[in-house]
Chains A and B, each alone.
Chain A
Amino acid sequence: MSTQTGRRLRRLEPAAIGGVMSRELANFRTYWRGTTFSSVLEPIVYLLAFGLGLSATLVDEVNGVPYVQFVGTGMVATAVIFSSALPAMFGTFVKHRFQNTYDAILAAPVDVEELVSAEMLWIGLRASVYGCVPLLVTIGFGLDPAWGMLLVPIFCLFTALGFAGFGIAMAAIVAKIDQFNYVTALFVTPLFLVSGAFFPIDELPEGFQILAQLNPLHQLVELVRGGAFGYEAVDLLRVAGLIGFAFLMWRIAVNRLSARLID
């Protein structure tokens, strides 16, 4: 026997998580060009349209920051949610209901908790790389590089882990793929519009401001701007909030997908 038997198998084994991630990596190698192309082109188009169009006619700067740099740093958050929540929703649904991939993985010595953790980690790592692209593009548009920016991938990772967990849980909850329309309209779009990426939250009515504080994407936007323009003490609380969000979504995703996959 070439397997490691005799030893009792534990929870959250790195071998199981690594194995599931290696499956994602093998698939990613077949489609990375398209994903990377769009994730680089998108912020460029946005910055050209918003930055050059809007700042030439309506807004010049926000809180002393040139509008192009304001939007560019904010777009890190939109890149993160669109490369985490949506792939988690659609990817999980397709692998579970259409391709029966999870049936094969769970017939191996892998449990649902390991499966969910691996999928979240994979999406989280990928989104933390793609999340940095708008920041690099904005540097190309004139933003000064700062040491604080080196922490941005870590903030992106925590946020993306949370939204990956959210997407996996949603994929386990919905009955049909069309119901993702509700999820997008009710959660994804509002979260991304009221994140402070495109306009400052402090202009909004007070109720919205309180809600925005509960929006993980808003916390990420503030942290990225902290990285570019200087951190504040409150940023530590924001990081703690993102870690809490990721943990909560992880547990919900494990719980919901277990209910779906184990009869």
Chain B
Amino acid sequence: MAAIELRGAVKRFGPITAVDGLDIEVPEGICLGLLGPNGAGKSTTMRLLTGQAIADSGELRVLGHDLPGDAKAARAEMGVVPQLDNLDVDVTVEDNLAVYARLYRVRDVGAAVDRALDLARLRGRRRDAVDKLSGGMRRRLLLARGLIHDPKLILLDEPTVGLDPQIRTELWTLIDDLRSHGTTILMSTHYIEEAERLADEVAVMDKGKIIARATPAELIAAHAGTHTAEIYGPPERLTEVRAIAEEQGLPVRPAGPAIAIVGSERAGNGGIPEDAVIRAASLEDVFVLLTGAEAE
């Protein structure tokens, strides 16, 4: 049985179709990265899975429970780590955890709180109010709160958005630990590196649909090739270089101040200028080619 099965899920908000016939299957034990630009429908998908949004049509099943009818039973078995920090800031670390242990009907609240404190490495800070913690500690606590009932499935909604690099790496280590213990993870992100590092498989989402899905390496091989050439220079020159590459049938994408010729190994004579910087093709190349959005 798959942990998550969505078939033809549609969710509209007035004239906007946020999720547009979405099919996703997440087998047990993998980390699936849901990668997409802002507005692709990732957050709405997450809310559909917790029953906080009700699909207009489609079949949705989470851990064997049909949604939205059995959403409450599904929520009892999954953990959710939100994008925004919504801890109770005046309350102590341990009380924040204890409240959620009760909401998840954990039998031994004290033991669950101790386990979560260890996971977040906050045992020494248990009696401190949350607003006394550093940003990284708060993030670890938020993650530990979502894991308080030892769930089989975790939804991570943009787990490191807006964090500084050090805290991000710290969280990646924690998430990677969970993955290696066999917890099923669905993680939405718009950070390429996050998907590359943590996800066993990546589903690229755009305009409410999955447009590609495979392991990061397969996606790169299928959509980008082996190498990418980046060329810097004044706009007129870049336009010239782009025209030549496109004539040879190579996809070209903007890369900040530069342009990137994807699949440069397939270029014929004179297709790639000599001053180009050649690098290995990346998931970012795939992402930008598929969604047309500039990567972060």
Contacts and interface: CB of A to CB of B under 8 A. Distances in A.
A8 B80 CA distance: 21
B211 interface: no
Interface string B9-51: 0010100000000000000000000000000000010010011
B77 A104 contact: no
B84 interface: yes
Given A5-B77, A27-B90, A100-B82, A18 B72 contact: no
Nearest to A16: B103
B104 interface: yes
A3 B103 CA distance: 10
B172 interface: no
B103 A2 contact: no
Nearest to A7: B73
A2 B112 contact: yes
Interface residues of B, number: 40
Given A106-B52, A262-B54, A263-B11, A19 B73 contact: no
Interface in A225-263: 261-263
A228 B91 CA distance: 40
Contacts of A31: 90
Contacts of A29: 91
B contact face: mostly helix, strand, loop, or mixed: mixed
B82 A104 contact: yes
B58 to A, nearest CB: 15
Interface string A1-38: 11111001100000110111011001101110000000
Contact of A3 (B77, B88, B91): B77
A20 B107 CA distance: 16
Given A106-B52, A262-B54, A263-B47, A3 B149 contact: yes
B149 to A, nearest CB: 5
5 contacts: A1-B77, A2-B112, A3-B76, A30-B91, A109-B76
Interface string B57-76: 00000000000000011011
A263 B77 contact: no
B73 A8 contact: yes
A96 to B, nearest CB: 11
A105 B84 CA distance: 13
Q: Which 6 A-B pairs have the closest CB atoms?
A: A19-B102, A263-B53, A107-B80, A109-B76, A19-B103, A100-B86
Interface of B: 11, 13, 44, 47, 50-54, 72-73, 75-77, 80, 82, 84, 86, 88, 90-92, 95-96, 98-100, 102-108, 112, 129, 145, 149-150, 152
Interface in A99-130: 99-101, 103-111
A183 to B, nearest CB: 25
Contact of A27 (B13, B91, B100): B91
A25 B122 CA distance: 23
A4 B106 CA distance: 7
Given A26-B91, A27-B88, A30-B90, A261 B52 contact: yes
Contacts of A23: 88, 99, 103
Contacts of B103: 16, 19-20, 23, 105, 108-110
A73 B11 CA distance: 54
Nearest to B100: A108
Contact of B76 (A9, A20, A22, A101): A9
Contacts of B98: 22, 26
Nearest to B145: A104
A100 B52 CA distance: 13
A3 B82 CA distance: 21
Contacts of B145: 104
Contact of A26 (B72, B86, B88): B88
A100 B83 CA distance: 10
Interface string A77-99: 00000000000000000000001
Given A5-B73, A22-B99, A109-B76, A100 B91 contact: no
Contacts of B88: 23, 26-27, 99, 101
B75 A103 contact: no
A4 B149 CA distance: 10
B104 A3 contact: yes
A255 to B, nearest CB: 15
Contact of B50 (A15, A100, A107): A107
Contacts of A104: 80, 82, 86, 100, 145
